[in-house]
Structure 1
Amino acid sequence: MMSLRSIARNAPRALARATSATSTIRTTSSTFLRTARPSTLLRPTQITSAFSTSTIRRTAIDEEGATETELASKLDEELKYETSVKETEHMPASIKDFLENSQFEIKDIPGSEDVILTRTYGNEKITVSFSISDLTNYSAENDFDVDEALGDEEGENHEHDNSTAAELDAEAEEDGQYDHEESIPCRLNIVIEKPNQGALSVEAVAQDGTIMVENFYYYKDAKVAHSNDANAAHAAGRLYPGPVFGSLDEDLQVLLERYLEERGITPALALFVPDYMDMKEQKEYISWLQNVKGFISA
């Protein structure tokens, strides 16, 4: 299950700067904001905010370097908080169990968004890759949906402007809005290769402990299946990959899913991927804070 911490950090700056009346309504409409610290440094996801440079210019004139000092202090505050959270959190059981019992090897390069799992099965080489960019993209989509919903709600519910945040929060809890964390869909790219036989390329989604297959492709050239470069991607675009998985005969779908499960594409993997993605995002965020603070302070 995906941590709400990551979602809270990705909330748009517009929500943080909302007026008191508007923010009261938005507090109940944005479930993920309920767990955010007021002092958390929010990171916009694919959202840009206009700002005035006049204040910055005045600060620079009044006291050279004041902004850098304040920014470095804020980054240090955020870094200490995130580090303390990391130290107090335990590794999820889904990650521990998968690492101990799975035959997959993990390639996780610091600073990279992608995580790659590899294993062999007979004469087959199996690669499963996923990316923490799914978390960012999902947050951005949720932010857009929430803002649209808030616009409708604000237009229809002006009579509730004077309600307190506590009252609205209590109502939300009674309605069961906070009973469950929302599971984030994580895209999986699965490639199964055989020597001189090409490769199967499978597009799937891991969510709520389930692997949902979307497409099941075949390529004579295994390099095309990986699409690591522009030439491979161009070649893949000109080939007939196969029908949409959901359009296949149901018995055939079941057998193909069983085929994948025998090769380690199991519910255990579906539980592991979202939790590992969340853990990696936290680690990469801390690294980003350290790098930016080091740059500002140099």
Structure 2
Amino acid sequence: MMMSLRAAARSAPRTLSRLSSTAVRQSRVAQPSSLLKSSWTPLRSPQLASAFSTSQFRRAPETEVDEELSVKLESELQFEGEMKEAEELPASVKDFLENSPFELKDVAGKEDVSLVRTFGNETITITFSISDLANYNPDEFNEDAALGDEELDSPDGKVRGSQGAPENEDEGEFDEEAEPGVPSRLNIVIEKEGKGALNIEAQAQEGHIIVENFYYFQDPKLAHSSTAELAHSAQDVYPGPPFGSLDEDLQLLMERYLEERGVTSALALFVPDYIDIKEQREYQAWLKNVKDFVDA
């Protein structure tokens, strides 16, 4: 994936021995995405702090650290710019933007991105966030995946994973380089005037849409949960049973219902790649803003 290549390039040592931007992001406080309900948002991780002595700074001239920091920020900006110039727009993003019925709504400086379209008498809004990159912990995700992929004995005697596919019996080595992409959370809202809204929580990963929850709200505002008050009100509404506990035929029909409205594998490929593009763009803007502040 493009994100993996970029992360590797950022973490590689360079002549100026700059801090990798991946490490910088990991040290930030994980910000929960505003598009997800409180039941979905991960716990806010403790802010990481580094101990240091202030005596060395007191002996330095007032502007010395400012100048060094400005130079470092400039080197980061130059590096990110070179990476951007070397990359081509992924086919998944180009094809989706050219052929999808969705309108992209992306506001500079904001973490959340929305896709909006009409489908008959419905208004469909799909929201995702670059905060998933900051909150992503590959170790925790791999543990969850391992718990979900407990091996089951099938009637034919072959070992099957959670998706029911036989495992390769000849596979004797684990491919350490094959890592799953960052799961991108989707908040899908389908509204009909006067009829309320469906709110679907799903994940886009490895070209697949994985539905996790399927809610109905009489008040469409609760489906968007754009404020803490609305999110709290939504928690008081019966959400329906867990999607995985529904009858399998019902699950399949609901998935086809979403696919008919554009929640397809093309969307599942587009979202993670676009998140990566937006993250780089926002990171460059952040670097520039900090540098302008330090230089002022």
TM category (shorter chain) comes to 0.7 to 0.9
Please say if 1:108 is aligned against 2:102. no
Residues 35-65 of structure 1 deviation map (CA, whole Å, 9 limit, x = unaligned): 56553343024351322133xx433433221
Q: What are the residue-to-residue correspondences of 1:1-298 with 2, within 5 Å?
A: 1=1, 3-4=3-4, 7=7, 39=18, 40-41=20-21, 42-43=23-24, 44-46=27-29, 47-54=47-54, 57-138=55-136, 141-142=137-138, 176-178=175-177, 180-298=178-296
- Whole-Å Cα distance in 2 between the matches of residues 45 and 231 of structure 1? 26
Task: Extract unaligned runs of 5+ from structure 1.
Answer: 11-32, 147-173
Deviates more, 1:207-216 or 1:40-49: 40-49
Give the RMSD, CA atoms, in angstroms: 2.2
Displacement, 1:145?
Answer: 8.6
Q: Which has the higher contact order (CA 8 A, sep 6+)?
A: 1
Contact 1:79-1:290 within 8 A present in 2 as well: yes
What is the rounded CA distance, in whole Å, between the counterparts of 1:89 and 1:121 in structure 2?
35
Q: TM-score, normalised by structure 1?
A: 0.76
Residue of structure 2 equivalent to 1:149: none
User: Once the two structures are superposed, what CA deviation does each residue of 1:79-138 show, in whole Å capped at 9, x if it has no partner?
Assistant: 101011111110000000000110000110011000000000000000000000001110
Write the letter of the residue equivalent to 2:244: G
| Aligned mates of 1:84, 1:257 — CA distance in 2 | 41
Quick one: structure 1 residues 127 and 145, their matched pair in 2 at CA, closer, same or farther if it must change by over 3 Å?
closer
One-letter code aligned to 2:59: I
For 2:32, the equivalent position in structure 1 comes to none
For these two proteins, the number of residue pairs brought into alignment is: 243
- Distance in 2 between residues matched to 1:112 and 1:232, nearest whole Å: 20
Contact 1:4 1:181 in 2 (8 A): no
CA contact (8 A) 2:195 2:218 kept: yes
Cα distance in structure 1, aligned partners of 2:103 and 2:109: 19
**Conserved? CA contact 2:180–2:206, under 8 Å:** no
2:149 matched residue in structure 1 = none
Structure 1 residues 230 and 63, CA, compared in 2 at 3 Å: closer, same or farther? closer
> Helix, strand or coil for the counterpart of 2:50?
coil
2: distance between equivalents of 1:211 and 1:36?
36
Q: Which deviates more from structure 2 when the two are superposed, residues 185-194 or residues 37-46? A: 37-46
| Structure 2 spans left out of the alignment, 5+ residues | 30-46, 143-172
Do the aligned partners of 2:221 and 2:230 also contact (CA within 8 Å) in 1? Answer: yes
CA gap 1:207/1:254 in 2 versus in 1, 3 angstroms: same
Give secondary structure in 1 for the equivalent of 2:209: strand
Q: Distance in 1 between matches of 2:13 and 2:221?
A: 44
Deviation, structure 1 residue 239: 0.8
Return the offset for 1:200.
0.2
The range that moved more, 117-126 or 180-189, is: 180-189
- How many angstroms apart in 1 are the aligned matches of 2:217 and 2:141? 37
Q: Which amino acid aligns with 1:3?
A: M
Structure 1 residue 244: Cα displacement:
0.4
CA separation of 1:85/1:104 partners in 2, compared to 1, >3 Å: closer, same or farther? same
Distance 1:6 1:144, change over 3 A: farther
Q: Secondary structure at the match of 1:3?
A: helix
Alpha-carbon distance in 2 for matches of 1:251, 1:2:
36
AA paired with 1:283?
R
Specify which structure has the higher proportion of helix: 1
CA distance, structure 1, for counterparts of residue 217 and residue 9 of structure 2: 40
CA distance in 1, matches of 2:141, 2:231: 32
State the distance in 1 between where 2:122 and 2:141 align: 42
Question: In 1, Cα distance between the equivalents of 2:275 and 2:102?
Answer: 16
